A and B are shown apart, each in its own frame.
Chain A
Amino acid sequence: MLDIAVVDYGTGNLRSVAKALLHVAPERTIMVSSDPATIRSAKRVVLPGQSAMPDCMRALDQSGLRDVVMEVARDRPFLGICLGLQMLFDNSEEGPTSGLGVLPGDVVRFRDERMHDSAGHRLKVPHMGWSRVAQKEDHPLWRGVEDHTRFYFAHSYYPVPDDPGLTAASVEYPAAFTCAIASANIFAVQFHPEKSHSAGLQLLANFVTWDGRV
């Protein structure tokens, strides 16, 4: 029985996600797959994503994986990473592009070309590097991850959920934005756990044992 399927719809760096999962759970069967039946057979599913939203959505449709992603996002532990988070929402300003509409809300770009932090330092876009993640709720995926731990980000767009209650964590850049979403069996993050050193590996280890309940 397949423990974890990493959805391969033909974009981005899937290897790092799969290898990080394997690193924290060497005893599990983990497959990078573009086969709907294989993905459907997995106990847990990871939807990664790296490139640009229009390309990701196009690739998802061309690979014929939209339906199975929608299906498994309803009924089993599901982890979205970066674009894999953004695609779950209704719309993205990037393109603009329609998303999967699994989660109500939009994905928007950092507003100002000239943003500053409270000390007056200029903030660049993409938001690139290690920022402190403020946890907004207790969740099994935060187990063993200290509040305000730094995770690695590399993005120009971020989600704005219609329901603020879905926000599992936020980060300031310079205003607070949602960087993690928790909705029943779905957990999704804007940062890259597979590139976030020990904290990221801890989150992935938590996902591997998560039963999909809060």
Chain B
Amino acid sequence: MGLAKRIIPCLDVAAGRVVKGVNFINLRDAGDPVEVARRYDSQGADELAFLDIRASVETRGLLYEMIGAVADQVFIPLTVGGGVSHVDDIRALLNAGADKVSINTAGVNNPALIEQAAARYGAQCIVAAIDAKAISPGRWEVYTHGGRTATGRDAVLWAREAVKLGAGEILLTSMDRDGARSGFDLGLTRAVADAVDVPVIASGGVGGLQHLVDGIVIGGADAVLAASIFHYGEFTVRQAKDAMSAAGIEVRD
């Protein structure tokens, strides 16, 4: 009777709308974040992640409105990220209704941001998002700016440092696998999960339900994040949970 492993559908948003790849049948408007969030909630999603893929000053207000609208009607945890570069961004997102805020590029460039944010808002709401690419067997490099900029940093060491600074969770994305639908980079997932004491969310590469199981059982992840398998109606979150449960993984009913 322990802690359930979590399934987290991830939604890309821009200017307050869900973009790319949501085609649920019977949604009046697949771009409406509230409607999409409700749908995943009713399927048993344990949490929802929102990534502002075109984070800009001009559209930031729309993101806050969107998070508020979702949080007012969907009563499960929401993690929001994309373009978070200042403690004020974090406060604004939390006030809008986010429960956790993920920090990526700005945390690598300015680790003090993670430290300040965790000290002020608590480790439990600060997620360090790490995009990593394999460079040699058993070694991964951190990339920033949506995977465009190599940093020369080792992903496992950076994960450890981010936790030391105060991050309460790691959202770990394999750049090699993202979009490839060939499964998580299990070596990367396992290396980071073993290296840190905080929960690790595996991300990047899910193409089928067994990949979710593998992320937990082989990768050692505490939660699995996926986008396309859910967005295109291939599988429901409920089916994913059934598959995990059948594999002996504890999930929330």
Chain A residues packing against B (C-beta within 8 Å): 11-13, 15-16, 19-20, 23, 50-52, 55, 83, 113-114, 117, 119, 121-132, 148, 150, 152, 154-156, 172-174, 192, 194-197, 200-201
B77 at the interface (CB under 8 A from A): yes
Whether the pair B71, A128 counts as a contact (CB closer than 8 A) is no
| Residues in A neighbouring B120, C-beta threshold 8 A | 51-52, 55
- The 25 sampled A-B contact pairs (Cβ below 8 Å) are A13-B97, A13-B99, A15-B71, A15-B95, A15-B97, A20-B75, A50-B121, A50-B122, A51-B121, A52-B123, A113-B197, A121-B2, A124-B200, A126-B124, A126-B199, A128-B199, A129-B3, A130-B4, A131-B2, A150-B253, A152-B77, A172-B2, A197-B76, A200-B75, A201-B75
Closest to B223 in A: A129
How far is it, in angstroms, between the C-alpha of A119 and the C-alpha of B71 when the chains are bound?
35
CB distance from B4 to the nearest CB of A (A): 4
Query: Max chain B CB contacts within 10 Å: which of A15, A19, A83, A131?
Result: A15
Do A51 and B97 have beta carbons less than 8 Å apart? Answer: no
- B6 / chain A contacts, CB cutoff of 8 Å: 129-130
**The 8 A-B residue pairs with the shortest CB-CB distance in the complex, in nearest-first order:** A154-B124, A130-B252, A51-B122, A130-B4, A124-B199, A19-B72, A126-B124, A51-B121
Neighbour of A117 across the interface among B2, B77, B198, CB < 8 A: B2
Contact of B119 with A by CB under 8 A: yes
Q: Find residues 39-60 in chain B having any chain A CB closer than 8 Å to their own CB.
A: 41, 46
Chain B: interface residue total (CB-CB under 8 A): 42
Question: Which chain A residues lie closer than 8 Å to B98 at the CB level?
Answer: 13
B75 touches A156 (CB 8 A): no
* Residues in chain B within 8 A of chain A (CB atoms): 1-6, 41, 46, 68, 71-73, 75-77, 94-100, 118-125, 168-169, 196-200, 220, 222-223, 252-253
> In the bound complex, what is the Cα–Cα distance between A138 and B31 (angstroms)?
45
A204 to chain B: closest residue by CB: B75
Q: Contacts A128-B222, A129-B223: A12 and B121 contacting too (C-beta < 8 A)?
A: yes
A52 pairs with B122, CB closer than 8 A: yes
Chain B, Cβ-Cβ closest to A125: B197
B3 and A131 contact, CB distance less than 8 A: yes
Cβ contact within 8 Å between B99 and A150: no
Q: Which residues of A contact B72 (CB under 8 A)?
A: 15, 19, 23
B1: contacting residue among A55, A148, A200, A201, CB under 8 A: A148
Given the known inter-chain contacts A15-B71, A152-B76, please indicate yes or no for A195 contacting B99, CB distance below 8 A.
yes
A22 CB to closest chain B CB (Å) equals: 8
- In the bound complex, residues from chain B placing their C-beta under 8 Å from that of A12 are 94, 121
B170–chain A nearest beta-carbon distance, Å: 10
Chain A residues with CB under 8 Å of B97's CB are 13, 15-16, 19
> By the criterion CB–CB under 8 Å, are A124 and B197 in contact?
yes
Are B3 and A130 closer than 8 Å at their CB atoms? yes
Q: Which residues of chain A come closer than 8 Å to B125, judged between CB atoms?
A: 50-51, 154
Whether the Cβ atoms of A16 and B99 lie closer than 8 Å is: yes
CB-CB < 8 A to A20: which residues of B?
75
User: In the bound complex, how far is the Cα of B98 from the Cα of A12, in angstroms?
Assistant: 10
CB of B75 within 8 A of CB of A132, answer no
A174 CA to B223 CA, complexed, in Å: 18
